[in-house]
Amino acid sequence: MSDNLDLWIVIIAYVVAFIQAFGIGANDVANSFGTSVGSKALTLRQAFILATIFEILGALLLGYNVSDTIRKGVFDLREYDGESRLLMFGYLAALISGAYFNIAATFFRLPISGTHSIIGSIAGFTLIAKGTKRIKYLTIGKIVVSWFLSPLLSGFISLIIFFFIKKYILTKERPLEPGLRLLPFFYGLLIFVNAFSIIYKGPKAFKFDLVPLWAAILISFGVAIVVATIVKFLVVPRQRAEIENKRKSEQEKAKGLEGEEEKLEIAHLFKYLQIITACFEAFAHGANDVSNAIGPLIAIVLIWKEGNVHQEGESPYYLMIFGGLGISAGLWIWGRKVIQTIGEDLTKVLPSSGFTIEFGSATTVLLASKIGLPISTTHCEVGSVVIVGLATSGKKKPVDWRLLSSIVFAWILTVPLSALFSAFFMYVFMTFFV
């Protein structure tokens, strides 16, 4: 496995994987920060900086779980025993197809699923190399079902949080005080979910895989309590003072919630919560979707190093960082397009609704990452945006249904077309190089 052709496969795979990561960053990271930019909680530059940090952290700390499913879950590796080069070419075909779809969709401002494109691509090269009987249809079925359930689950979680906020804060005559009282709870909840996702069955490099469930819950709860206490005694007084000062300086009367601007105190309270949930969601995205970019690359590198198809080594952390950097590059250079679609064009996003959208989406994605299920962050985000948009907007047309139908149509086409393109490239490789 050490001849020049195999080495060239590895080199080309690095280049294409970076392009694939670039496309995912340009397209999918809008899921994390589109609503924050749309609600004016963050500027584009601020969103890009925070996304870069948390995408890479998520990829580094949790990206290995989904990588294993992407590399090994669609077909039986034993089918390629003694055919290492054939499998390397297959993964390369999948990378090329996935990269094409992410770049093309971003050009048309459509938020597609990087998960769809890479799973379809892997199935496509397998069909050419081994036929229809060699695909793990049960695994594919579970993944496909999750694509439909994930937007509903994400939207359901977002809706619960929104109605809680509406009942105990938004409908109050003076929402500032109940909002400030609940602020430590919201921060603590965010920290608990995030800490638990890292600690429980976490990275082996940090020995987190040895932490039992009860200990992970206890540690996460302890960290959440500490953060909530800090928020109560340090952040809450500061926010109260800031809001009171803004009240005095601004003469405009607060408006209602019916699709218009939110009250000053509500917008200010949820602005910072939304920023934290956006970081939370970027972390979740890095954990789940970095594998769409570098899962096949990891497979190629391990096959090349080990000299067989079984990929028994751990997913290298440097490749997780490599994928995170590619995602960040795509966001900085081309991310503005889909951010506008998610954050502004699909529905009106306010700081309070933006917070609930991001929390529901991030929680759903992190839960999937922990069990190694490559769900679509795009589906989660769009599901939450649409469901919360329907619940919060008083407009006759709360959601741009024409835009939504275009997005759904792109989702439907992604799997079969990515499989077709991957199959084509695999056919070319088998004809001329294998």
The tens place of each residue's pLDDT in the chain, 434 residues long, gives 457 889 999 999 999 999 999 988 887 766 667 777 777 778 888 888 888 888 888 887 776 666 666 777 677 788 888 899 999 999 999 999 999 888 888 888 777 777 788 888 998 999 999 887 777 777 777 777 777 788 888 999 999 999 999 899 988 888 888 989 999 999 999 899 888 888 887 777 677 778 898 999 999 999 999 999 999 999 999 988 888 887 777 655 545 444 475 677 788 888 888 888 888 878 877 877 777 788 899 999 999 998 888 887 777 888 888 988 888 888 888 877 777 766 666 777 777 888 888 888 888 887 877 776 767 777 888 888 888 888 876 666 678 888 888 888 887 888 888 999 999 999 999 999 87
Instruction: Summarize pLDDT for 28-70 with one digit per residue, the tens.
Output: 766 667 777 777 778 888 888 888 888 888 887 776 666 666 7
Inter-residue contact 321 to 57 (CB < 8 Å) = no
Q: Residue holding tokens 């800090």?
A: 230
Alpha-carbon dihedral 265, 267, 269, 273, rounded to 10 degrees:
180
| The three-state (H, E, C) secondary structure of 96-129, written as one string | HHHHHHHHHHHHCCCCCCHHHHHHHHHHHHHHHH
* Alpha-carbon span 416 to 409, nearest angstrom: 12
Per-position DSSP letters for 67-107, written without gaps between them? HHHHHHSSB-GGGGTT-HHHHHHHHHHHHHHHHHHHHHHHH
- Reading the block at residue 278, the tokens are 């956006």
Inter-residue contact 105 to 335 (CB < 8 Å) = no
Rg (CA), the chain: 22
Q: Is 271 exposed, middle or buried (0-12, 13-18, 19+ CB in 10 A)?
A: buried
HSE-CB at 118 with a 13 A cutoff on CA atoms is 34
Inter-residue contact 2 to 308 (CB < 8 Å) = no
Task: State the alpha helices, DSSP H only, in 231-350.
Answer: 236-249, 264-306, 317-334, 336-340
* Alpha-carbon span 256 to 173, nearest angstrom: 11
- What is the domain extent for residue 9? 4-432
Closest to 273 measured CA to CA, from 141, 165, 120, 418: 165
Overall domain count for the chain? 1
Q: What is the pLDDT of residue 256?
A: 47
